[in-house]
């Protein structure tokens, strides 16, 4: 595999044609001071806000219930000597609901720096041009309803503020940010670090392990919430190594990936979990089902008749670990936070009152 070229990252939309990585280091800037006031813990917000406490271990939604997260978060897990590296999935943070909003990004970023990553290394990752093309060739419905491709979420203003806050920005054309994060995560783990992925994207749950956890923005309360291996097992009653195989059965409505239920209505989550717990991965299950009975008639028929369908889902939903990108050791250094307050104050004030993108 050729070595990727390392270049300064130009404005989004004008990236060098070859896969590239970039890091920007800014000089200290003198600007207005940003003030944030912590609101009472019971206060909820329908949109990201700097007026609330930033880190929560108990999101209110049913999807990640308080019960699952009430017993701790990444900031209070068992002691470890391994340092942390954060990957920031930028594009989803540039939206409030389905509407593009750089003010939302500004608030989430301010909360993230002040209460989550602190001075730990942060690497920001953006979707590359044509990042969805590979998966859309496999499955035309994949994210077909979205307009969140490169250039419609993060733009040059987002890249600029990240650079000024001494965060390297990585974007590889032809790949989604998820694939770049998955590839870099493997490289960081090999160097003896822990990884925390900052993103609302459930696709990253397939990466969760003792040394990989998520921290998710929760719009309902305007806070970031850690999500760990313990939380995953409590929520799904299975190991994250089965997450990808399970999602192949269940599909992903948000990404336009249909599950097997519309072909076999009786085949639900309980059936899938039971089969995967007994037989392991999807591929192993399909191979066994091809030579002998593994379950009830409806499940057996589904596995034999729709094996190719499930394998296609697997290819679409699995994150790539072989993107042509190389970790720069300088990205693992303690982040210089001297510019955070002034840079973010200007950025927030610019978009706060008008609400413009």
Residues 118 and 215 in one domain: yes
Q: Read off the CATH number of the domain in which 273 is found.
A: 1.10.150.20
Residues 343 and 257 in one domain: no
Residues 339 and 258 in one domain: no
Distances (CA, A) of 286 to 142, 243, 352: 24, 16, 52
In a domain, 49, yes or no: no
pTM of the predicted model as reported, rounded to 2 decimal places: 0.76
- Select from 21, 11, 12 the least CA-distant residue to 324: 21
Could you give the number of structural domains in the chain?
2
Tokens of 290: 């091809």
In a domain, 22, yes or no: no
Q: Read off the CATH number of the domain in which 112 is found.
A: 3.40.50.1010
pLDDT in tens, 200-243: 999 999 999 999 999 999 999 999 999 999 999 999 888 898 89
Tokens of 128: 């590359």
Q: Which is higher by pLDDT, 146 or 280?
A: 280
| Alpha carbon distance 252, 146 (integer Å) | 14
Residue 187 structural domain: 84-237+327-353
pLDDT in tens, 15-73: 333 334 443 434 444 443 333 333 333 333 333 333 333 344 333 333 444 334 334 44
Tokens of 65: 């219930």
In a domain, 344, yes or no: yes
Distances (CA, A) of 270 to 63, 263, 267: 17, 17, 8
| Alpha carbon distance 13, 279 (integer Å) | 46
Residues 6+ apart with CB under 8 A from 285: 245, 275, 276, 279, 294, 303
Residues 180 and 263 in one domain: no
**What's the per-residue H, E or C state across 235-276?**
HHCCCHHHHHHHHHHHCEHHHCECCHHHCCCCCCHHHHHHHH
Q: What is the dihedral of CA 108, 171, 254, 141, to 10 degrees?
A: 160
Residues 224 and 281 in one domain: no
Q: Classify residue 9 as left (phi > 0), alpha (psi -120 to 50) or beta.
A: beta
Residues 334 and 187 in one domain: yes
Cα 230 from chain centroid (whole Å): 18
In a domain, 230, yes or no: yes
pLDDT of residue 167: 98
pLDDT band at 80 (very low <50, low <70, confident <90, very high): low
In a domain, 28, yes or no: no
Q: Which residues pair with 227 in a beta bridge?
A: 214
pLDDT of residue 78: 52
In a domain, 152, yes or no: yes
In a domain, 105, yes or no: yes
Residues 216 and 309 in one domain: no
Residues 306 and 258 in one domain: yes
Q: Classify residue 124 as left (phi > 0), alpha (psi -120 to 50) or beta.
A: beta
């Amino acid at each position: 595999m050729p070595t990727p070229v390392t270049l300064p990252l130009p404005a989004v939309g004008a990236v060098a044609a070859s896969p590239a990585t970039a890091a920007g280091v800014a000089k200290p800037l003198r600007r207005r001071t940003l003030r944030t006031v912590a609101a009472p813990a019971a206060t909820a917000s329908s949109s990201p806000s700097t007026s609330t406490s930033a880190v929560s271990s108990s999101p209110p939604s049913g999807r990640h219930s308080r019960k699952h997260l009430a017993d701790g978060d990444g900031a209070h897990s068992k002691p470890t000597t391994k340092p942390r590296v954060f990957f920031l999935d930028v594009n989803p943070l540039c939206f409030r609901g389905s509407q593009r909003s750089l003010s939302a990004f500004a608030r989430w970023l301010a909360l993230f720096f002040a209460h989550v990553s602190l001075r730990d290394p942060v690497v920001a990752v953006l979707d590359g041009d044509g990042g969805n093309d590979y998966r859309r060739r496999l499955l035309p419905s994949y994210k077909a309803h979205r307009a969140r491709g490169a250039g419609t979420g993060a733009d040059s203003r987002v890249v600029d503020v990240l650079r000024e806050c001494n965060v390297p920005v990585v974007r590889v054309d032809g790949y989604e940010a998820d694939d770049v994060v998955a590839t870099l995560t493997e490289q960081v783990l090999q160097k003896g670090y822990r990884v925390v992925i900052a993103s609302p994207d459930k696709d990253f749950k397939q990466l969760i392990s003792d040394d990989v956890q998520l921290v998710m923005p929760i719009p309902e309360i305007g806070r970031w919430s850690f999500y760990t291996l313990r939380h995953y097992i409590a929520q799904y009653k299975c190991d994250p190594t089965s997450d990808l195989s399970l999602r192949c059965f269940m599909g992903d409505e948000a990404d336009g990936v249909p599950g097997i239920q519309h072909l076999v209505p009786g085949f639900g989550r309980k059936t899938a979990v039971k089969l995967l717990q007994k037989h392991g991965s999807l591929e192993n299950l399909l191979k066994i089902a091809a030579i002998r009975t593994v379950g009830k008639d409806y499940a057996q028929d589904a596995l034999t008749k729709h094996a190719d369908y499930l394998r296609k889902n697997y290819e679409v939903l699995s994150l790539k670990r072989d993107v042509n990108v190389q970790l720069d050791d300088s990205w693992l250094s303690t982040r210089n936070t001297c510019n955070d307050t002034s840079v973010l104050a200007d950025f927030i004030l610019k978009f706060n009152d008008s609400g413009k993108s």
